[in-house]
Amino acid sequence: MPKKKIYQSEFPDLFKEAGELSYQDPEEREPETPPEPEDDLLTPQTVSALTAKLRDLIAENFFDVYVVGEISNFVRQHSGHWYYSLKDEEAQISAVMFRGANRKMRFMPENGMLVVARGKVDIYPPNGKYQIVCEDMEPCGLGSKQMQFEQLKRKLEEEGLTSEERKRPLPVFPKTVGFVTSASGSVLRDVKNVLFRRFPCRLIFAPALVQGENAPASIIEAIENCNLYNEQHPETPIDVLIVGRGGGSMEDLWCFNDEGVARAIAASKIPTVSAVGHETDYTIADFVADLRAPTPSAAAELVVRTREDWEFTITDLYERLRDGMEEKIDSGADEVVACLNHYALREPTRIVEDLIQKVDGLDESLRKGTDLIFERYESKLDHCTKMLDALGPISVLKRGYAVVQDDAGEAVTSAEDLKKKIRFLVRMSDGSVKAKVLDEQ
């Protein structure tokens, strides 16, 4: 970077102290003797002293340098200072950008970003590490404004302020339309003509600066005033709000890329239409608004339908309602005729007779079913009785066997027990006889 020339008119005191300048023939000049070194390099010196000399040497020769490098190890301290490294394929250098300088930045550095940094090279004495103290920085290949635009857009997307789910539909029949734009220019007149030509409505104009450094704050204030108006006039509120301006350069439209403006549009309780510039111009306001219009005049056409559109809609609805009613009436008439021709109305006794026959048939089926169940159970009972008789003691006695019982009626099953009984009873199939033991074997 070439150094700026110093003119006497700019710094009169500097030349006054230097004294009068005079010409001297080079041959008459005394030979210059090299200055003696202030310190002997062989003389031992402290680390601090050596570091201070190196720091002064670097500061005198590298006070304004430009460095191209890739950002890495980027750290943003709570104090607001930025610490990072600039590197290429073969080397890297530490860098720092203090809060006073980085507050002027229009984009946020990120790891992997290729930038051109301007600053001075310095040595940090506590660790003897040299670094570049950056005063300014620009991204390579992408302008800082575009970088700022992309970073803000990504930030708002991550917060969900640009999602389609949060966008509100515009009112179908707005009675009052608000417009935030500049008081100068033809945009306000064009929007007014479009609105009033399409359908009579009420227009509330909120003036704001739409260009320059003070424009963002002015736009934010106008949007907030429109929302405040709705709170103070709930009976005649603003139904939809248009925020925009006519065409211009990127610098002219840049106020609509301001983060504060974007958040004011997103926070507005009134459905908002962004209408900035021409059809090819896109701003951050377009992404957070409920609807984006290519131009302010197009925004007026989107928020208010023409009288002809409403007449066509009403006529279409009337015809659809009429056709639907006629179809319903015809369908009901067919159902009435079918009911009148039904045999139940012509011969109601037939229905009773059919039901009587049905009841008689069910009664007969029930009786037959009950008799069949009884027969099955009687047959099963007879079979069980025969099995019990065959397995019972009576049938055994009939085959010639007898049961010996004692006086208490208990069966005697052992000859040993019978020896103890003097008298006992012998029961057979047709009766019983009393007996006593005569002999023991």
User: Does residue 102 share a domain with residue 157?
Assistant: no
Determine, yes or no, domain membership for 5. Answer: no
Determine, yes or no, domain membership for 367. Answer: no
* pTM tops 0.85: no
User: Does residue 237 share a domain with residue 131?
Assistant: no
> Domain range holding 406?
395-436
Average pLDDT over residues 185-196: 90
User: Does residue 217 share a domain with residue 298?
Assistant: yes
Task: Please tell me the distance from the alpha carbon of residue 321 to that of residue 313, in angstroms, as a whole number.
Answer: 12
With a cut of 90, say whether residue 98 has pLDDT above it.
yes
With a cut of 70, say whether residue 26 has pLDDT above it.
no
Burial class (CB in 10 A: 0-12, 13-18, 19+), 374: exposed
Determine, yes or no, domain membership for 311. Answer: no
The CATH number assigned to the domain holding 54 equals: 2.40.50.140
**Any bridge partners for residue 240, and if so which?**
177
The CATH number assigned to the domain holding 268 equals: 3.40.50.261
In this prediction, residue 4 carries a pLDDT of 36
With a cut of 70, say whether residue 422 has pLDDT above it.
no
In this prediction, residue 6 carries a pLDDT of 33
Note the Cα 391 to chain centre separation in Å: 85
121 or 7, greater pLDDT: 121
User: Does residue 157 share a domain with residue 137?
Assistant: no
Sheet of 240-245: strand order equals 202-207, 176-181, 240-245, 272-276, 291-292
- Which candidate, 191, 259, 247, 164, places its Cα nearest to that of 220? 259
Work out how many domains the chain is built from and give that number: 3
Determine, yes or no, domain membership for 224. Answer: yes
Q: Which residue has the tokens 């029930």?
A: 366
In this prediction, residue 39 carries a pLDDT of 53
User: Does residue 156 share a domain with residue 90?
Assistant: no
Determine, yes or no, domain membership for 405. Answer: yes
Determine, yes or no, domain membership for 127. Answer: yes
Q: Which of 279, 305, 331 is the last residue of a domain?
A: 305
In this prediction, residue 410 carries a pLDDT of 79
Determine, yes or no, domain membership for 222. Answer: yes
5 or 285, greater pLDDT: 285
38 or 382, greater pLDDT: 382
Three-class SS of residue 31? coil
User: Does residue 217 share a domain with residue 136?
Assistant: no
In this prediction, residue 25 carries a pLDDT of 47
pLDDT in tens, 281-316: 889 999 999 999 999 999 999 999 888 888 888 899
With a cut of 50, say whether residue 50 has pLDDT above it.
yes
pLDDT in tens, 62-80: 888 889 888 888 998 888 8
Residues near 233 by beta carbon (within 8 Å), at least 6 away in sequence: none
Q: Average per-residue pLDDT in the chain?
A: 83
User: Does residue 196 share a domain with residue 94?
Assistant: no
144 or 186, greater pLDDT: 186
Average pLDDT over residues 422-438: 75
With a cut of 90, say whether residue 241 has pLDDT above it.
yes
**Res. 31 pLDDT band, cuts 50 70 90:** low
User: Does residue 158 share a domain with residue 118?
Assistant: no
398 or 100, greater pLDDT: 100
With a cut of 50, say whether residue 166 has pLDDT above it.
yes
